[in-house]
Structure 1
Amino acid sequence: MNQGRLGHANQRGAVLLVALVMLLLLTIIGIAAMRDTNLQEKMAGNMRDHSLAFQAAEAGLRFAEQEIKDDYDTLINDATYPINDETPDVVTFTAFTGDVAAKPTYTVTRLPHPGPLDMQDMINPETAGGGSLAAGESLIFDFVLVRIESTGTGMSADSKVTLRSLYFVEE
């Protein structure tokens, strides 16, 4: 006769306990997913900031190269571009319009002149498309060698990139 009494009095809350454990597991998984998403968002922001700094530094580098190419006579005679052992002036690329913390800057340093370049000695006629250079006079180029260093920042002042190039200016 006791078989019909499976009502509320015999239940001990096992379903409630299982449901609470499942909710706890879902909460832990949700929190872990949110932390992962936040970390990925920070990494993407840092990558964007670094990319902006790199682009700003490259813009400063290209601007300095073009300025040297256009203003070659000033390069040779002006103290703005010092010889290797002097401290070069830091120039700000004021025309840069990117959304960064600071405008890119660059320095130009003339390196000691190594003398004329003899292209005859530098080019192997067999691998350079035939012996046309070997048949005539050697080509001698006189040039000025400069080192350009450009520094760019991203949207954060903490993100900085410095690029360096060597640039030949033919006389």
Structure 2
Amino acid sequence: MNTRPRMRPMPRQQRGAVLYVALIMLILLALIGIAGMQVAGMQEKMAANYRATNVAFQNAEGVTRRSEMAIESIANRTAAPSNAPLVATDIQENCDIAFDPVAWGRARPLTTAQAVNVRRIDSCVIGAGSLSMGKPLDPVTPIYQITTFATDTPTDSSSTASVDTIFKL
């Protein structure tokens, strides 16, 4: 038997459509990767800002607690803590002075690591409220308004926080 090899048909001209589709898919994947990197970078910046704000608030709270301990030491005439942010002469006794804690906090520059403003307000309290306002005040139980300011780092700070509290001995 004489078999002749069959002739295969010649392939048609290839036009490279698969190449174009693969390149387009590669470009789309690259764009998705770039968008993902930008989102990750933005989330990292947001996390860093949140951390800086939280650290500034914790520093302001720490200054407030140290101020309360110093006021208690001053009132008891005992030795103030070594890290006390104020002395007895820093406490304002005058009720006539208008004090805005928000304006005071905004006026602090970023170069200020911490600041404190203390006012004795027991003689200023008038009216009724949760601090037994309107009733005769006990002169041996003073009330203080403590406003503190702190930044996230002592140098090159990016966030600030202020805390305004009422402290009753």
TM-score, normalisation: structure 1: 0.66
Structure 1 counterpart of 2:66, from 54, 63, 66: 63
1:25 aligns with 2:23: no
- What displacement does 1:143 show? 1.4
SS of match in other structure, 2:142 = strand
Q: 1:53 to 1:101 in 2, by over 3 A?
A: farther
Counterpart residue type for residue 30 of structure 2: T
What RMSD over aligned residues (CA atoms) do the two structures have, in Å? Answer: 2.9
| Separation in structure 2 between the aligned mates of residue 141 and residue 86 of structure 1, nearest angstrom | 21
Alpha-carbon contact 2:90-2:117 (below 8 Å) kept: no
Alpha-carbon contact 2:52-2:158 (below 8 Å) kept: no
SS of match in other structure, 1:28 = helix
Counterpart residue type for residue 72 of structure 2: K
SS of match in other structure, 1:165 = strand
Structure 2 counterpart of 1:85, from 89, 92, 96: 96
Partner deviation per Cα, 1:90-114 (whole Å, 9 max, x = no partner): xxxxxxxxxx975321110111425
| Separation in structure 1 between the aligned mates of residue 111 and residue 31 of structure 2, nearest angstrom | 39
SS of match in other structure, 1:143 = coil
Percent of matched pairs sharing the same residue: 30
Instruction: Indicate the residue corresponding to 2:144 in structure 1.
Output: 146
- What displacement does 1:73 show? 6.1
- Gapped regions of structure 1 (runs ≥ 5): 89-99, 116-121, 123-139
1:105 aligns with 2:115: yes
Q: 1:22 to 1:142 in 2, by over 3 A?
A: same
> How many residues align structurally?
130
- What displacement does 1:142 show? 3.8
Alpha-carbon contact 2:64-2:163 (below 8 Å) kept: yes
SS of match in other structure, 1:53 = helix
| Separation in structure 2 between the aligned mates of residue 165 and residue 60 of structure 1, nearest angstrom | 12
| Separation in structure 2 between the aligned mates of residue 14 and residue 3 of structure 1, nearest angstrom | 23
- What displacement does 1:4 show? 1.3
SS of match in other structure, 1:106 = strand
- What displacement does 1:86 show? 3.5
| Separation in structure 2 between the aligned mates of residue 17 and residue 39 of structure 1, nearest angstrom | 33
| Separation in structure 2 between the aligned mates of residue 56 and residue 109 of structure 1, nearest angstrom | 20
Alpha-carbon contact 1:60-1:104 (below 8 Å) kept: yes
